[in-house]
Structure 1
Amino acid sequence: MPSIGWVLLFFLAVLPALATSGAHGDSKPAFRCHPDQAATLLQLKKSFSLLRYPNSLESWQDGTDCYFWEGVGCSNSSGHVTSLKLSGLYSPGLDPAIFNLTSLQRLDLSMNSFGQYSLPASGFERLSLLTHLNLSNSGLFGQIPIGIGRLASLISLDLSTYYDTIPEDYLYGQFDYVYNSLWLEKPNFQILVANLDNLRELYLDGVSMSNSREDWCDALAKSLPSLQVLSLGSCQLDGPICLSLSTVHSLTVINLQDNFYGSSTPFPEFFMDFLNLSVLNLAQTNLQGWFPRRTFQSKTLRVLDVSWNQYLSGHVPNFSNASSLETMMLEWTNLSFVKPDPFSNFKCLKALSLDAHFVSMEPQSSLGIPRSLQDLKLSQMNSNSDLGPTLSWIGDLENLLSLELSGHGWVFSQTSLSSVDNLKSLRSLSVSGCNFTRPVLFGNLVGLKSLEISYCSFNGPIPSALKKRSNIG
């Protein structure tokens, strides 16, 4: 009891001091975010203009704790900024103030607009703790600086710019290279990846690698043996794809679309042995010759795209586990099926693109296309083909959301039109290069949001009920 009395007396003695300290206006709250880091962020904020409202920068207010600012992540122990994610902003170039945030581990400035200004030639090397760097679709321009190649802790690097990889003039044999806003010359690709031993994900879509077009895969196999995601679409690479890439068997995603225009490229058969492969995209890569009559060994393959390789012949391959496949793109190829029921095991197939020659003139019940299909594209290079009977099976695809029919002179009969009109769930319909022998109906497509009919001839007018549909954009 005496001890309790002494504690009570001590509390009564210090109580006035505690009350006084809380009343002074010059007292400052304890912030979790380091003040120097907050000052740097506020300096960075001044370099940006808002492209959309609301925006994360609205929470960046002087005198508040940057620990709670949107897009900012801080260390609980040190108060230093460890992650920064901003989007929807405009700035005339990347402000060098960002390189003062040397504690950054994750930096994501994707989906901003830096006004076609060049990446800073120096500064990235200061961000030595970075594990994830994403500058994709940011409007940056010019040579990729060597400093990025010195970030030895990088696990994921994304400098990509996405393009529509199939130009409108493709049908007429006129090819135009996409505009590459970033490029690798000095340093080239080999120098960039030489020290990135920890890299697991590499996205350089749209980056010009013309100076490395012939030895890119040797450099990749040598420097990035544990790479899991490789995406080099529209990089102006040249082929063939060298055998050394077969040593990078850890790859799960391979995207090399829209490359290899300068030389014919045989299908890289060793990709079929990658056990963990989930995505293989070789669309528009000038593949020629025969597709190997083998089985994909991966049991987790979800996406196979070899479309727009019109000189690729042979049979569609087998799969160790066809039920895992969700997307298969085979349009504009000379591939064909061996089995009469090619889709019977594709229980999860959601997206499918085919040439018209895949679809026989016989009743289509043998195709076994699963009703889970949501996206279907049918293309045709030959003219004056009556596809009326072959499209009757489309009406059974009750979950179809998107349908695209394109070709040269397809003739749509009443049978084919009525089958399309049965698709109550359809949201998008695109028809081009076709002849309609009956008036266009599509009146039952109550869920349709997008309708495109181009380069088609009609027998009769478009129904007024369809033209008045306000929900179609």
Structure 2
Amino acid sequence: MKGEGEERTQLEVSLRQCLRSLVEKLTHLKELHLDEVNISSSVPHILANVSSLTALSLVECELQGEFPAKIFQLPNLHYINVQGNENLSGYLPEFEKSSPLQRLILERTTFSGSIPSSLGNLSSLEELRLGYNNFSSQDSRSLSWIAKFGKLTLLSLSQINLVGEIPSWLMNLTHLTGLGMRANYLNGPIPYWLMNLYQLERLSLSSNRFTGRIPIEIRNLTQLSFLELGSNQLQGPLPSAFYDFKNLYWLDVASNNLSGIVDLEF
């Protein structure tokens, strides 16, 4: 009888062969969704030849090795999501202005290298999630090309070695509903103008080095459902506006230097 380990190995080999065979035979493939299928191998380079591909989703597939950079440059690709593959490495190539990418999701992988400014060529981008990777340390202001993404609704730059203050280019992203910049090396005060992003539903700035008070203008963010400001060096009282957030289900302000009385009977 075969042991459990041997059966698992044979299944993984079978899945790898199936994926390669699928790509080789379906030359006009438009969408490939294999989320949570335990592939446990590298992404076949032949996938970069499927020019008809518009969507690729390989979420939590135990992918390994280096992701073929040329896949990002497929001429019809609108959506790519490989998040949750913690052993998947890779780098971002240069992007052309002709790229139709709308959603680029690489969270919780091990991509490294620099984040190219040519990402600013992706004029159709609506979702950019690069968080929890090993990108090179850089000043937050150097990502000013993100301000070109007038359609952007979700932006995750958490734990990617950003330094400096919250960059002013963020004020141009007026359609944002989610902003994640936690676990970086950002410092200085949380700017009042950030609270003019009225559409925000999720805001995560925890585990940085922010100082000063929580801006009273936070009352402008009436759509907030998720707010993380914990593990900073913030001071002063909690804004009374917190009591007015009717949609708020998650609030983290722990590990700061906040003071005052909290009314738990509101």
TM-score by length of 2: 0.83
Q: Contact 1:104–1:129 at 8 Å: present in 2 too?
A: yes
- Whether 1:118 aligns to 2:24 is no
Structure of greater Rg? 1
1:158-173 pair list within 5 angstroms: 158-161=81-84
Quote the residue 1:203 is aligned against: 105
Q: Contact 2:230–2:256 at 8 Å: present in 1 too?
A: no
- Whether 1:154 aligns to 2:77 is yes
1:238-249 pair list within 5 angstroms: 238-241=137-140, 242=142, 243-249=144-150
**Higher relative contact order at CA 8 Å, sep ≥6: structure 1 or structure 2?**
2
- Whether 1:297 aligns to 2:196 is yes
Q: What is the identity, as a one-letter code, of the residue corresponding to 1:189?
A: L
Q: What is the identity, as a one-letter code, of the residue corresponding to 2:178?
A: V
Q: What is the identity, as a one-letter code, of the residue corresponding to 1:114?
A: I
Quote the residue 2:6 is aligned against: none
Report how far residue 357 of structure 1 moved: 4.9
Report how far residue 48 of structure 1 moved: 8.6
- Whether 1:258 aligns to 2:159 is yes
1:169-180 pair list within 5 angstroms: 180=86
Report how far residue 49 of structure 1 moved: 4.2
- Whether 1:268 aligns to 2:167 is yes
Report how far residue 90 of structure 1 moved: 7.2
3-state SS of 1:296 partner: helix
1:177-202 deviations in whole A, cap 9, x for unaligned? xxx52222xxx4123x4476111100
Report how far residue 345 of structure 1 moved: 3.1
1:40-439 pair list within 5 angstroms: 49=11, 91-92=15-16, 95-99=19-23, 100-115=25-40, 117-121=41-45, 123-161=46-84, 180-184=86-90, 188-191=91-94, 193-194=95-96, 197-212=99-114, 216-221=115-120, 223-237=121-135, 238-241=137-140, 242=142, 243-260=144-161, 264-309=163-208, 311-317=209-215, 318-319=217-218, 321-336=220-235, 340-355=239-254, 357=256, 360-362=259-261, 364-365=262-263, 393=264, 396=265
Report how far residue 331 of structure 1 moved: 0.7
Q: What is the identity, as a one-letter code, of the residue corresponding to 2:33?
A: D
Q: Contact 2:236–2:258 at 8 Å: present in 1 too?
A: no
3-state SS of 2:252 partner: strand
Mapped to 1, the partners of 2:237 and 2:116 lie a distance apart of: 33
Report how far residue 277 of structure 1 moved: 0.5
Higher strand share: 2
Identical-residue share of aligned pairs (%): 23
Report how far residue 278 of structure 1 moved: 0.4
Q: What is the identity, as a one-letter code, of the residue corresponding to 2:22?
A: I
Mapped to 2, the partners of 1:129 and 1:346 lie a distance apart of: 45
Q: What is the identity, as a one-letter code, of the residue corresponding to 1:130?
A: L
Count of residue pairs brought into register by the alignment: 253
3-state SS of 1:342 partner: helix
Cα root mean square deviation, aligned: 2.8
Report how far residue 321 of structure 1 moved: 4.0
